[in-house]
Structure 1
Amino acid sequence: MTTIRFLRTAALIAVAAGVLAAALPALSDDEVVALGDGTPTDSNISFVGRWNRTNPSAYVPYWAGAYLRVGFTGRTVKLRQRNTIQLWASIDGGPFTSFTGSGIIDLTPTALAAGSHTLIVSYRQVDGSYGGDAVFQGLILDSGAGTFMPPARPKLVEFVGDSITAGGTSSQLAVTDYGFKVGERLGYDHTQIAIGGMCLAETSDGCWAQSTRYWMSSGGQVGTDPWDFSRYTADGVVINLGTNDKTHGVSAADFQATYITFLTRIRAKFPNATLFVMRTFAGRYAAETEAAVRARNAAGDVKVCYVDTTGWVTSGGLSDSVHPNDAGHQAVTDRLAPILSARLTPTP
């Protein structure tokens, strides 16, 4: 690992020349930045979401919308992949671009301006008929270049749900989902604990239930491995569940009771988080969802709030009868972001 010293005067000259990305913080004369090598164990890389780090040379993301965030110097950046995968990458806050391939994937077919840059990479979730190999094996940078830690984000929010929260029918799946978009708009870290077809409650016909699988590292995709909740602390948890329970025959009473227990167990994991419990966009179990919130409030938990989504997604914002399209996810983002910001921003 190479250590170099950035002087404030040099940084100011670089800014004036238009070659230093805004994501690199100003450094004092006494500050030293350690450039990393881009391997999975590089401490400058922030892995957001539920990642399996058992193999130090290959990190595997689980659930939807898990991503890595890092700063890097130089003009090019490539990914080391194993087998074929689809992923989305954003450089310097630009639009997310889709890449598909295996081996070495070049994220900068056109070289960038010399200087410092930021990168976000999100892999397509392995789900349903899609079986891509979501495995991060490191970055390849220019000779003499390295990684640096990007500016820290002030909050982390979990978005818990089903295919709607996984962005199932949007153009870029999790990346164009309301959860990802809200997090990026607010400048928060964000995770989407969601898999297509999930219910809240366990059902006799085998609907995967968040009430049992939320606690697992992979949601049961690779076994019943428990998630280590000490890996991160959520400031907010946004829950959107119930759309699939209806079609699997869960009774209203069972749904409400399961929701109360689910909220109670999440509170035990995140004692200080605000829990945002959303009415399903189709209105399924709306009364029972609100009743579950009131039950937790009555039990003394004042940081559980009901989010009434009535009218948020119109017919033009749907790709079918229940799933939002890009316009629908944008509409939800526009409504939900101010609610989260108001609740999660400390009062001066």
Structure 2
Amino acid sequence: MWKPLLAALIVVLATGRLVAQAATGDGGPTDPNIVFTGRWDTSTPTAYTPYWAGAYLTTGFTGTTVRLKQRGTIDLYSSIDGGAWVYRTNVSGTVNLTPTPLAAGSHTLRVSYRVVAGSYHGDAVFQGLALDSGAKTYAAPTPAKLIEFVGDSITVGTTTSQNALTAYGWLIGERLGARHTQIAQGGACLVATADGCVGLEQQYTKLNPNAANPSWDFGRYAANAVVINLGTNDVGHGVSTTQFQGSYTNLLATIRAKYPRAYIFALETFRKRYVTQTQAAVNARIAAGDTAVSYVPTEGWLTSTDYSDSVHPNDGGHVKIANRLAPVIAAKL
């Protein structure tokens, strides 16, 4: 009987306050064995909500079945034991992810909600996992490094077969064995404009791409690399070259302040917009003594057959981007 009291005393001595002992391995949103990658709103302990594209959760679990508790209707992808992603549409409530029971033992699970132009399609609110009687979660292996991909609908993966899951950022993260998240919004600009274009110069620091508050807590994770692909949409919203360069310079400074040790890659947009200004912003950082930033030219990476329309790469186009960009990132990681 003294061991629980001793454990509680240690908590008080270590933190200066008495903390309620939460259940471990029960599959609830606060379960420490569930890892949430990306920007998730965890302010409500019974319901976690992801923002931006490419967020996902990972955990291990025992038993033969696993069910996902959803607040409302949602489209989602799930993968068990590293297998192929299974796509489920318009599901809600307690969603059975194992209609065919698994072999008894230990398994891993990943879940990612489907995005449309950067906004989640449906009610992307995670309320926990339901496991077999006597089963529990466990901490699955988690990659040590994390890469952020910052951009617009191209980075989201719009028009590809699985959106965020078939975008170059996701492909690169998987290939390099790193956690990854797409801080991207369909239609986004670098510069916020009077006609309503979401500007990532200011929204990059926010939990929600479409809300001024709250700010994102950058203490939640530290990115090892940040890849920026912005400028494709600014032209259509009248952003001048001077304004673009200044805003790109500001964004680079913001990212450096948030991630002092990250390597920053500034991509040439595939439509060759604001090329000179992007290079100038990078050169200004380098001239200021920042040696962990570089401009990445993308000339010749894609041809007309790699697009699903005049702007967005198709599945094959994203694979080509990943083939070119992954070695560049790997060399710095």
Kindly provide the amino acid, as one letter, of the partner of residue 177 in structure 2.
Answer: G
In the TM superposition, residue 185 of structure 1 has moved relative to its aligned partner by 1.3
Task: Tell me what 1:294 maps to.
Answer: 283
Partner residue in 2 for 1:60:
49
Is the alpha carbon distance of 1:38 and 1:128 closer, same or farther for their aligned partners in structure 2, counting shifts above 3 Å?
A: closer
What is the 5 A alignment of 1:187-202?
A: 187-202=177-192
> Cα 1:127–1:325, aligned 2, differ >3 Å: closer, same or farther?
closer
Per mean C-alpha deviation after superposition, the further-off stretch among 303-312 and 41-50 is 303-312
- Give the number of aligned pairs: 310
The structure 2 residue matched to 1:318, chosen from 294, 303, 307, is 307
CA contact (8 A) 1:62 1:125 kept: no
- Offset of residue 212 of structure 1: 0.9
The aligned runs of 1:109-128 (5 Å cut-off) are: 109-125=99-115
Q: 1:128/1:304 Cα in 2 relative to 1: closer, same or farther (>3 Å)?
A: closer
1:80 aligned partner? 69
RMSD, matched Cα: 1.6
Counterpart mapping for 1:145-184 below 5 A: 145-184=135-174
**Runs of 5+ unmatched residues, structure 2:** 1-22
Q: Which residue of 2 aligns with 1:7?
A: none
* C-alpha distance in 2 between matches for 1:126 and 1:229: 25
| 1:139 maps onto 2:134 in alignment | no
Q: How big is the shift at 1:126?
A: 6.4
Whether 1:229 and 2:218 are equivalent positions in the alignment is yes
**Match of 2:84?**
95
CA shift at 1:158, angstroms?
Answer: 0.6
CA contact (8 A) 1:199 1:207 kept: yes
Report deviation, 1:322: 1.1
Displacement of 1:220 in angstroms is 2.4
After superposition, the Cα gap between the structure-2 partners of 1:302 and 1:175, relative to the gap in structure 1 and judged at 3 Å, is same
Pairwise CA distance, 1:233? 0.7
What does the per-residue CA deviation read over 1:1-55, in whole Å, with 9 as the maximum and x for residues that have no partner? xxxxxxxxxxxxxxxxxxxxxxxxxxxxxxxxx9611110100000011000111
Does 1:217 find its partner at 2:211? no
2:188–2:233: 8 Å Cα contact kept in structure 1?
yes
Task: Write the distance in 1 (CA, Å) between the matches of 2:155 and 2:117.
Answer: 14
Give the letter for the 1:36 counterpart.
G
The letter for the 2-side match of 1:73 is: T
Unaligned runs of 5+ in 1: 1-33
Q: Sort the Cα spacing of 1:238 and 1:45 in 2 relative to 1 into closer, same or farther, 3 A.
A: same
Contact 2:63 2:132 in 1 (8 A): yes
Contact 1:125-1:134 at 8 Å conserved across structures: no
When residues 166 and 129 of structure 1 are mapped into structure 2, their CA distance, relative to the original with a 3 A threshold, is closer
Distance 1:130 1:194, change over 3 A: closer
SS in 1 for 2:283: helix
Query: d(CA) in 2 for partners of 1:72 and 1:129?
Result: 29
The amino acid across from 1:203 in the alignment is T
Counterpart Cα distance in 2 of 1:313 and 1:42: 43
Q: CA deviation at 1:130?
A: 6.6
Question: 1:278 aligned to 2:246?
Answer: no
Deviations 1:212-262 (A, max 9, x none): 1111101124x5211111111111100000000011111112111110111
Would the alpha carbon gap of residues 85 and 190 (structure 1) be closer, same or farther in structure 2, given more than 3 Å must change? same
Task: Compute the displacement of 1:95 (Å).
Answer: 1.7
Alpha-carbon distance in structure 1 between the residues aligned to 2:140 and 2:255: 29
Q: In the alignment, what sits opposite 1:10?
A: none
Aligned position for 1:247:
236
Any idea what the Cα deviations from partners look like across 1:95-117, whole Å, max 9, x if unmatched?
A: 21111211111111122222211
Determine the structure 2 residue equivalent to 1:27: none
Secondary structure at 1:158's aligned position in 2? Answer: strand
TM-score of the two chains, using structure 1 as the length reference: 0.86
Q: Indicate if the aligned counterparts of 2:60 and 2:108 stay in contact, CA closer than 8 A.
A: yes
Structure-2-length-normalised TM-score: 0.90
Shift of 1:176: 1.0
List 4+ stretches of structure 1 deviating above 6 A: none
Structure 2 counterpart SS, 1:243:
coil
Contact map agreement 2:267 2:295 (CA 8 A) in 1: yes
Q: Decide whether the 8 Å contact of 1:169 with 1:323 is kept in 2.
A: yes
By how many angstroms is 1:338 displaced? 1.3
**Which amino acid in 2 is paired with 1:248?**
H
Task: Report whether the alignment pairs 1:206 with 2:191.
Answer: no
Deviates more, 1:98-107 or 1:41-50: 98-107
